[in-house]
Amino acid sequence: MIILAGKIISDDLLRHLEETKQPVLDNDYARERGAGFDLNLVPSDEARERILAGERLYTTNEDALTWVYENLKGSPLVEKADLMKDKAALRDKLAYLYPDFYYKVLTKEELFELRSEDLKYPLILKLNIGFGSLGVYTLFGPKDLVDAKADIEAHYEEWRTSYTEGVVGSSFLLEELVEGTELAVDVYYDTVGAPVILNIYEHRFASARDVSDRLYCCGPYIMKKWYDKLTAYFAEVGKKLDIKDFPLHAELRTYKDTVIPIEFNPLRFAGISTNEVAVYAYGFWPPDVYLQQVKPDFTEIMKKAAGYVYSFIIIDKCGTHIPSEQFDYDALVRYFQKVYSVRKINQPVPDDFAIILTATKEDDQKELEEVLTMDFTRFVKK
């Protein structure tokens, strides 16, 4: 069973669901976004019965958790989703893996009473529930704390209006800033609790202050570098949390031999249809692989994918609100070595131009380096 929810669903996914007849929860979003596609819609009561009887569940976005919480109360799915969405509770459970790591949960009131002289910089401040880069701040000193408080004061109510409670929450997490590589992982646990990694992404940044979601890269050399270490990590996590038959998208920081969780996003893989980069890179649909309990043969897959870095890139508006109709998508495509898919965005939230899925030669990644600091308004039609 798949629950469609969120701000962005690709036409590619809708066509795939139409072709495969994968059961989809019948909700307002599926009917509206799926208009024109022959989806196999399942009424809510029937979906609830089927999932409680053991049918696997995959969602496309945290907004789907509202239905999950209301209809699957008391189930292991809700128990695990609840734990994973609460970053502090997850850290508490896994604290034995990184005993010296500093973190603290704050209410909004406690945050605004926080004194800079009581802190040891550098730090990360973020929404305790949240997802992606929403409400995330790097703090290198007192001014950054002042600026973060001001930005939260200006935007908090807007976040609560634009996103569900399951995304924004009501508390904040303050934690030490960890140096090292940031990774994102699409992984599921099979019926006996063994982790099956489907993709590993390097989250690349322009600087230490950059917290954007602009660029994620995957491919053979990234998979080879991290696969064994992260499989062992998720095996340990799964054992501690007793996870079975469950998909998740994890974001992590690795430093020396330590893996520290940033967040675990339950019942889905990389959001806003970005996990579909695996379709082009590896030849499979991640939700299908989980729902059918397939373990990809990466030995063979990596041979075919060799020589390239596969990316999803968020083409943001760089602080402007230029209408997407003024953007030259053809010029954008010409800039890159190979573009598999352009998902145009024309809506208030998120206010971006597009999401693109690309392939770049492993030995010529100049375009990816430039993307990190590029002003995408250069592609606006004159």
Residues 98-140 pLDDT 10s: 888 899 999 999 999 999 998 999 999 998 876 656 788 999 9
pTM for this model (two decimals): 0.91
CATH number, domain 102-176, options 1.10.10.10, 3.30.1490.20, 3.40.50.970, 3.90.1300.10: 3.30.1490.20
For residue 135, the one-letter residue type is G
Q: CB under 8 Å to 337, separation ≥6 — which residues?
A: 358, 359, 360, 361, 364, 367
The whole-number pLDDT of residue 167 equals: 60
The pLDDT-based confidence of 47 (bands split at 50, 70, 90) is very high
Q: What is the DSSP string of 257-274?
A: TEEEEEEEEET-SSTTTG
Structural domain boundaries of the chain? Answer: 2-73, 102-176, 179-302, 307-382
Q: CB under 8 Å to 88, separation ≥6 — which residues?
A: 103, 105, 128, 171, 173
Distance CA 274, CA 7 (A): 13
Site of tokens 């949960």: 105
At 131-170, the pLDDT tens digits run 656 788 999 999 999 999 999 998 888 877 776 655 666 7
Class assignment of domain 179-302?
A: alpha beta
- CA separation (Å) from 141 to 106, 138, 144? 19, 9, 6
Give percent of the chain with pLDDT exceeding 70.
97
- Kindly indicate whether the domain formed by 307-382 is annotated with CATH number 3.60.21: no
At 295-333, the pLDDT tens digits run 999 999 999 999 999 999 999 999 999 999 999 999 999
